[in-house]
Every structure is written in C-alpha cells, then in structure tokens.
Amino acid sequence: MDTTRSTVIDGSSTTASPGALFPTTRLRRLRQSPAMRALVRETHLHPSQFILPLFVRPGVSVRQPISSMPGCAQTSVDECVRDAAAAAAAGVGGVILFGIPAAKDAEGSGAWDAHGPVAEAVRAIKAAVPALLVITDVCMCEYTDHGHCGLLDGETVDNDATLALLAREAVMHADAGADIIAPSDMMDGRVAAIRAALDAAGHAQVPIMSYAAKYSSAFYGPFREAAESAPAFGDRRAYQMDPANTDEALREVAQDIAEGADIIMVKPAGAYLDIIRRVKDTTRMPVAAYQVSGEFAMLHAASERGWIDLERAMLESLTAIRRAGADIILTYFAITAARALTAAR
C-alpha cells in the first residue's frame, strides 16, 4: 500500500500533502508537551463509548470469579446490578448481558425464559440505573446442552430452524426492557427474523446491534469458561467467519444492514483492525468492535509477568480500536479504562 495516501471521510483516498521539508518542517514541534500533544490528538477515548460485558447466573449473592479473566465474575442478579451501577458511576455507556441458565437442553429453551437470569437482570438494572444502556446478547450456545449456537440437525446447526428461536429470545429480552438487542449467533437471516419479530411484538424502537463480522477465533477461549458455552463437539467454523477473509466481512455487513441492523459489530477487535477500518469506510454506519476475552486475558497475563504496563497497554489497545474506525468498544476493561481516563483529566 502507498503509505503517503490517507483515507478521508467519504471513503475515497487522497495524497497527503508532504508540506515543507526539514528543517522548515519539524514534526517534533507538536510533540513537545502534554498540552501540545492533546491539542493535535486525532483519536479520543470516552467512557460513554465503552460497553461492559457481564455474566449473569442464578442465585443470590453469588460472585464466582472467572480464573482466566482477572476481575471478571459470573454473578447473580443482585451482584450484577452492583457491577452495572459501578459501570454507570464510572460513565460507561452500557452493559451487555450473557446468561448462564440453571439447566440446559437440546433446543436451549432457557434462552426465552422470561424469569431466567438475563430477563431478571435486565429488569433489575433498568430499575436501579435507568440511564445505563442494557444490551442483551442473543445466542443459543449458553443454553444448549451441546454448546452450539443453534438447533442441531445431526452434527450441523440448522440455520433456518434456529431463526425462530433467536427471534423468541430477542422478543423476550425486549419485553424485559432491553435497550438494544445484539445477536451473536452468525445464522444467515437472523437480523431480518429478529427485526420482524420485534416489530410485531411492539418493539419497533428497539435497535439491533448485530455481530456482523464475527470470526471463528481462538481469542474466545476464556469466554467459553465465563459463559460455560464451549461446544461439546466440533467447532464453530461452519457458521463463524474464516479469519483469512476480508471481502466476506463486507458481504456479511451488507446483508445485516439490508436486513435492518442499526449498529454493526466486528469481533474480535485487536487482530481485526483492518476489518474495522474497511467496514467503517464502506458503510459509514455506527461500528462497534468487541475486544474479546482472549485479548483481555493476554494483556493481564503479560502484565502479571511484569512484561508490559497494563494500564498503558489497555489504553493503547482501546485507542487503536477507535483509530481503526470503531465508534463503540465492548471491553472487559470498560470500568478500569473509564476510571483511568477520568483520573487523567
């Protein structure tokens, strides 16, 4: 790629002016002091752009730490409300809820249980901290006994039969008061199915944030402990994307937009910055990126060994995701990063 070209706002390219040459031009002039650097900074992080993932399980006063994700835990609804309130107090924009049901079955019926952990958490958080956005992850893998993201037909996930279940789960979440619905299953046609079901149920104003370009990634490892959702056999490569592909991400995104997605997501974030940039330039839609469990775990592990400075690496990784074009970041660092930004001000 020609590195003298930069991308401008309409997605076209233009040659950056070289300006005058050294010694007339000295790029170090604008790096001299914190104030000078702040003046010309191009990318800003703000807590309102962060979304904190939370894992809700049955019970009362339960806080079960997730060993591979320091500081994160599976919690009961009451404890989940405390985390949501802490996020709101730190200025974090929203939370996204994942449920661990009391029991799992082949069709994942816990997914539409109106008294399951997610539904109860939505109601409790909206009552306690109404201004905080509550997003719900819509998928089947936490609810099925086989751990796949939909109904099985033999050893493959039956795409079309799964759509009705996802729609049912989404409507239940909206009925409970969810502000945004976020399908993460990667079935074809799920955004249209969920949009139609939400509209029919009187939730025409509830936006869909689709996990549009979701890759089949090794970086989800710690999450599968967190959500107890590892597939019992096989993997997710027949529905999640091949990490080698970029044009296909644009097709996924275009489909979801055509089906009614309001916000589109790229996931993971750190290893997919090129995809975030391409999606942003191509669509000009609100773009979210998910800094996933493995990205979070790696930064913690390296800092525990004294190999990197956790706070600096955290803020640098979040800045890179924003610089690539993400408007919104889902991150387990949401509260820590929000506090760090506030303290630095």
Residue 75 CB partners (closer than 8 Å, separation 6+): 54, 55, 56, 57, 62, 63, 64, 82, 83
Of 56 and 292, nearer to ligand PBG (C-beta) is 292
Q: How far is the CB of 40 from ligand PBG (least distance, A)?
A: 34
84 neighbors 132 (Cβ within 8 angstroms) = yes
Q: Is 63 exposed, middle or buried (0-12, 13-18, 19+ CB in 10 A)?
A: middle
Of 113 and 137, nearer to ligand PBG (C-beta) is 137
Residue nearest to ligand PBG (CB): 223
Cα 87 to Cα 134: distance, rounded to the nearest angstrom: 11
Of 58 and 231, nearer to ligand PBG (C-beta) is 231
Residue 255 CB partners (closer than 8 Å, separation 6+): 188, 191, 212
Whether omega for the bond prior to residue 34 falls within 30 degrees of 0, making it cis, is no
285 neighbors 257 (Cβ within 8 angstroms) = yes
Of 220 and 333, nearer to ligand PBG (C-beta) is 220
Given the rule CB under 6 A, which residues bind ligand PBG? 137, 139, 141, 149, 184, 220, 223-224, 236, 292-293
Active-site annotation holds for 267: yes
Could you tell me whether strands 73-75 and 63-65 are parallel, antiparallel, or unpaired per DSSP bridges? antiparallel
Q: Is 64 exposed, middle or buried (0-12, 13-18, 19+ CB in 10 A)?
A: middle
Choose, from 104, 126, 214, 280, the residue flagged as catalytic: 214
Choose, from 104, 126, 267, 280, the residue flagged as catalytic: 267
Of 49 and 217, nearer to ligand PBG (C-beta) is 217
Active-site annotation holds for 104: no
Of 98 and 324, nearer to ligand PBG (C-beta) is 98
Cα 279 to Cα 327: distance, rounded to the nearest angstrom: 12
Q: How far is the CB of 293 from ligand PBG (least distance, A)?
A: 3
DSSP count for the chain of H helices, then E strands? 11, 14
Q: How far is the CB of 184 from ligand PBG (least distance, A)?
A: 4
Q: Cα 285 to the chain's mean position, in Å?
A: 16
Cα 245 to Cα 228: distance, rounded to the nearest angstrom: 28
Q: How far is the CB of 282 from ligand PBG (least distance, A)?
A: 24
Task: Count other C-beta atoms under 10 Å from residue 161's C-beta.
Answer: 14
Q: How far is the CB of 156 from ligand PBG (least distance, A)?
A: 16
Give me the active site residues, please.
214, 267
